Chain A
Amino acid sequence: MPIISSTYTVGHAQASGLHYVVETHTWDTGEVSKLEYGPLPSKTDFKSIADTRARQIEADRTKAEAEKAEKEAADAKLATVIDAAVKAGTLTKEDIEKAGLDVDLATVEKAK
């Protein structure tokens, strides 16, 4: 899921003479990530900053998606174990509440 375009707009000078910059990164899905940074001197290489940031936020998103998938897999595994334990009668709704497990108790009721 790459970023297909990155642009930047340099704002007006602040009282300090420095400028804020708004970066706009468009993903291949059409989603837009926008952020503003600064203030910095007008002669700063804003294009280089935008290009570097695009690669970084792509890497951040890839990492976040991998972590989310890992967590979902772990949660699914836990749900299977809990489901089996409830059906076997070795785990009750009270046990789950006491352990503070993040489980849908209505699902537990159905499993019984």
Chain B
Amino acid sequence: MADIRVRSTDGSDADNGTTWALAKATLAGAAAIDAAGDTIVVSSVHAESTAAAVSLAWAGTAAAPTRILSVDDSADPPTALLPGASITTTGANGITLASASTQYAYWNGFTFNCGTGASAASITIQGKQILSGCAFLLVTTAAASVISLSTGQYELRNCTFKFGATGQGFSVAASGKPQLIVGGQIASGGSNVTTLFNTFALGAKALLYGFDLSALAASVDMAATTSSGAALEMRNCILPPSWTGSVNSANPGRGSVFEMYSCWSGSTEIIWRRKIEFGAGRDETTLVRTGGGKHRGVGVSLKCDTTADAEYPLNTFETLQFAAQVTAAQVGSPVTATVEILHDSVTALTDADIWLTVSGPGGEINSDQVADVFATPAAQASSSATWTTTGMANPNAQKLTVTWTPSKAGVVLGTVSIAAASKTVYVDNMMTVAP
């Protein structure tokens, strides 16, 4: 495994890259000779620019990945990372990192500038890669240009992104494992895209943790897709202040889930959002149960709105997962998991309208759902719980209860499913297990 040096200021692709004096001039020059496990050390002053598409394919394998590092070239061999190396394409020319989904590579500290003028040119990321501390800038103003999270499994860590037109955005391909963006930000000074993920392919998935998109306009939508099997999960992200957008402004397709947990818009926390084909949910802090679930000391319930297509047993809306505990003292004796609910109707919800499913620590799965499609639904139990019912004409408190005998101590997980069509239900953000 060798180091191959690259430096555009004085390098030549005719040289062998074994010293700074013999550095290659381009990344392509290094990619032409690299072997699995090599480290490509690129001077932080490296700045290659070409009026042609750049597609970099590395020899790295699972056993011997390739590392491409922007480094301080004051030492030979280099001993310190130093961001700054850049790859630029002009005109209608894109940049592809890993030309196949099977390449293993780690990048650190690069800037990728893609396209110029109104020519369509995209940045495509593929393969099994981690790109850390890199910047991806769509310079082109063509609306069709995208930063494509293509086939492969990769992570973009603490990276910066900038777009050149409002119609641009991320495009996500289906690839099994979700594409992961951890940390990083949308840089200020670029165009405010109207939709962050403007394309989700069938089955595509993306996870964003700690990503800062506060530089975008308040109206930005996270997605606008009807694709099936797509999933977007955002946790601890920073949204634009006074955010008026949607987690998905279109109607999600079959099996798609778009959700947010603990994201911030200015000083307002978006505790929970979910949108699927059969409903949408959000956090609610006024219509809450006295003594019920809290978040940062404030009472919270989950407001769940189902669509007209919701229907038992298949077309349901699910809440986030609740967690509680079965103690060692409770093992071997019946316990009851309870979730309180509130809705505005004199007609009770039945066990075909709404139910709780519990997964016990011993692997037990139990539910208070109606027995089957031929069984006669029964009203879920009435509850004496006290709720704030501002604006409700017929507040109706009920509860979902599941009783079972746990075989082990540990964590119990519960989910509420709602099949009643065109219904709004407030679900207490807490599941209790007693006695």
Contacts and interface: CB of A to CB of B under 8 A. Distances in A.
Interface of A: 12-16, 18, 20, 33, 35-40, 44, 49, 52-53, 56-57, 60-61, 64, 67
Interface in B207-259: 219, 221, 224-226, 242-246, 249-251
B103 to A, nearest CB: 19
B133 to A, nearest CB: 33
A52 B246 CA distance: 14
B249 A56 contact: yes
A16 B194 contact: no
Contacts, number: 55
A16 B251 CA distance: 29
B298 interface: yes
18 contacts: A12-B390, A14-B285, A14-B286, A15-B286, A15-B298, A16-B285, A33-B251, A36-B282, A39-B268, A40-B244, A44-B242, A49-B244, A52-B219, A56-B219, A56-B221, A60-B224, A64-B225, A64-B226
Contacts of B246: 35, 37
B interface, by DSSP: helix, strand, loop or mixed? loop
B278 to A, nearest CB: 13
A57 B249 CA distance: 7
A61 B249 CA distance: 10
B286 A12 contact: yes
Contacts of A56: 194, 219, 221, 249
A64 B200 CA distance: 11
Interface of B: 194-195, 199, 219, 221, 224-226, 242-246, 249-251, 268, 280, 282, 284-287, 298-299, 305, 390-391
A100 to B, nearest CB: 12
Contact of A35 (B195, B249, B285): B249
B280 A36 contact: yes
Contacts of B391: 12
Nearest to A20: B282
A70 to B, nearest CB: 12
Contacts of A35: 246, 249, 280
B138 to A, nearest CB: 18
Nearest to A59: B194
A27 B346 CA distance: 33
A55 B341 CA distance: 37
Contacts of A18: 268
